[in-house]
Amino acid sequence: METKIKIAVLDDYQDIAMKIADWTTITNRAEVIVYHDHISEPGPLIKRLQPFDVVCVMRERTPLNGDILRHLPKLKLIVSTGFRNASIDLITAKELSIEVQNTDYFDHGASEMTWALLMAIARNIPVEVNNLRSGGWQTTVGTDLRGKTIGILGLGGIGSKIASYARAFGMNVIAWSQNLTAEIADGAGAVLVSKEALFRDADFITIHLILSERTVGIVGKNELSLMKPSTYLINTSRGPLINETELIRVLSDKKIAGAALDVFDTERTPDGGSPV
C-alpha cells in the first residue's frame, strides 16, 4: 500500500485554507493537516513539522530559517502564499534539496484593504460603531479626504492602485521609495518627493514596500517625528517595516492622529487587539 504524503498547512487563523482551494484532487494521495494556531518557539515547531513531507506557509507568519530546515529530514517541498517570502531561508533549502514554490494571488486585495482602513480611521468608524452599540451617539468629527495629501511609500503594483484611488477622491498624491524615479511616479499620477518631505507634508501615509534587510525599520523614530499631529499612518504590508516600539510611543503621546494596521511584528497580536 502506497504511503500517503503528509502535508501541513500552518497558521490558518481564519479556517479558510480548505475552503478557498480545491484539495480533492490530492486527498487520495496525501494526508492534509491544517493548524489554526501559531508556534513561535523553534523546538515545538520542529517537533510539529518533523513528520511532514510538505509544509504550506501563509506568507511570513512562520519563519523557516536554516536551523529549523536542518531538523526536518523528511521535508521535500515548501509552498508559500504570494510571490515571495522573505522568512524562508532559500539558500539552506537549496542545499537540503527542499523545493520552494509560491502561489499566485489577487493583487487587488491589499489595496482594497488599505483603502478600507484609511476610510475607517479617517471617519472614526470603529469608535463610532462601538459608541452606538454601547448606547451612545456620535462623539467625533471625521476627516475629509478631498484636498488632503496622501504619501505612498512604495509605488509598485499596490501603491499605484492606491494612487488611483486617492485621485478619485480628489487627493494630492506624493510618493517615495529607494528606487522610485520622477518618471515612474508621474506615470502613476504621483509626485516624487524626498522621504523627509513625504513624512513632513502628508496627511495620510501608507506603506507598500517589500520586507528586506534594507527596509526593516524603514519607518522609525526620525520619520515618525516628522509627521504632523493630524496625520494618519496605514500599514498593510509587513509589520517590521515600522519600528513598532516607536510607533506605540508616538501614538501614546498623541504625536500623530492615529494608525490603521493589519500587520504587526508578532502575529497574532498577544492581546487580540483591533487593527484600527
Both 27 and 133 in a single domain? Answer: no
Q: Above 50 in pLDDT, residue 274?
A: no
Average pLDDT for the chain: 92
d(CA 227, CA 199): 5
Residues 135 and 174 in one domain: yes
Tens of pLDDT along 21-65? 888 888 888 999 999 999 989 999 999 999 999 999 987 889 999
Co-location of 26 and 126 in the same domain: no
- CA distances for 130 relative to 36, 137, 257, angstroms: 28, 9, 19
- The candidate with the shortest Cα–Cα distance to 164, out of 176, 150, 153, 177, is 150
Signed CA dihedral, 199, 201, 204, 209: sign only = negative
Alpha carbon 22 to its chain centroid, in Å, reads 25
Cell, residue 208: 507598500
Q: Based on the fold, state whether residues 32 and 114 are members of the same structural domain.
A: no
Residues 15 and 55 occupy one common structural domain: yes
Residue 195 main-chain phi, psi, to 5 deg: -60, -40
Which of 115-124, 130-139, 216-225, 247-256 has the weakest average pLDDT?
130-139
Same domain assignment for residues 114 and 159: yes
**Domain interval for residue 142:** 108-261
Distance, CA of 16 to chain centre: 18
Q: Among residues 204, 246, 198, which one has the least CA distance to residue 224?
A: 246
Q: Is 241 in the same domain as 135?
A: yes
Which of 78, 102, 126 marks a domain boundary? 102
Pairing of β 191-192 and β 172-176: parallel
Q: What pTM was computed for the model?
A: 0.82
What are the grid coordinates assigned to 8, written together?
501541513
Q: Assess if residue 267 is contained within a domain.
A: no
Q: What domain count does the chain have?
A: 2
Average pLDDT over residues 83-106: 90
Pick from 250, 261, 206: which is nearest to 228 by CA?
A: 250
Which residues neighbour 128 within 8 Å (Cβ) at sequence distance 6 or greater? 138, 139, 140
Indicate if 253 and 120 belong to the same structural domain: yes
* Residue 106, CA distances (Å) to 41, 59, 95, 111, 242 in order: 31, 14, 31, 10, 25
Say what the pLDDT of residue 138 is.
86
